[in-house]
Chains A and B, each alone.
Chain A
Amino acid sequence: MRACFGRRYMISASHRLHTDALSAQQNQATYGKCNNPHGHGHNYVVEVLVGGCVDPETGMVINMVELDNVVRSRVIERFDHANLNLDPLFVNRVPTTENLCRAVFALLKDALPAGELERVRVEETENNFFECEGD
């Protein structure tokens, strides 16, 4: 029987929304406070949803400890307490939460020990979040 297992993780990171494709004035108009030259930070919540058949022996779609290990090594250690703008993934890409969400999906997609990655949700604050289903 197919079900989904979900797990929430926290990442604290800084970023600055800015693109060299726009003028200083356009950056300010587009990104507002998020364009502050010195950056700012968030406690991001990363929610990972894994779908698959429930293993009759374990009752699990995926073993949470194994999922935690993958998310920790591929996502949390990479982004937690880091400046997202300095990550190679964001050298030519603005570290909006949309792009962070896509990056997390890509980092996890082929690394899961069981099941398939159904959805990644990244909450930037309590009031805004972004979801990616890989398309």
Chain B
Amino acid sequence: MTPRQRLWFFAVAAAGLVACYLWAFAGLPGFGSYPGPYGQEILRQAVAQTHATGVVSAVNFEYRGFDTVGEEFILFAAAAGMSVVLRRLREERATQPADEAESRTVPPSSGAVRVAALLLVGPTAVLGWWLASHAQASPSGGFQGGVILASAFILIYLSGEFLTFRRLSPVALLDAVEAVGAGGFVAIGLAAIAMNLPYLDNYLPLGTIPGAVSSSGTIALISFFVGIEVAAAFVLIVGELLDQTLLRRRSA
């Protein structure tokens, strides 16, 4: 099939898809008037029930906490899957990448980039930690905080310190942290069963002031475990991809 034929084929299919979409959307309630029975009911109940002022976190880590366990393990499986797909094959070895244009000089990363990246490492790590531990109060939570925490490590790489990045994030440690994060979530749920409560029931004291750091019981704790799991998974994923530049096939 030539590219031109393919484009025509696509145009016909896309026209059909657009028609179906428009037909489906015509049946939706208009923008801004969604009756959403579950959402409105949760908005009425959530703050009194969970003492979390962040209702999205309450939904994620309490009302549909069981789904979020699955969601967390999707990320866990992806990181594990990458390690399998990118494992070192028998005919591969780690070498410095061959310089394929020897006459070209590689400009070193500029001083401004290095200093800016290094300066941002600390604030980024603090911001990530803060987000991961304040799911109960504000628009934050383990998933967002974990990603930002991971970017603190990636900033170290950006500042030109690949070796420091690798030394600060050894794979064995990352694997352990990821396992603790994922396992912690499951263990919090199992502890409820041990107390004769439903799985992931919120059995910790809810605190007196909704939205305080100490409020919302298991929601805050789960969010924290999710945070370290996500951070470890992302550092692992980025590290796996960076390692690939050092791997070369021995023969063509």
The finding on whether chains A and B are genuine partners in a shared complex, rather than unrelated, reads no
Interface residues of A (CB under 8 A from B): none
Interface residues of B (CB under 8 A from A): none
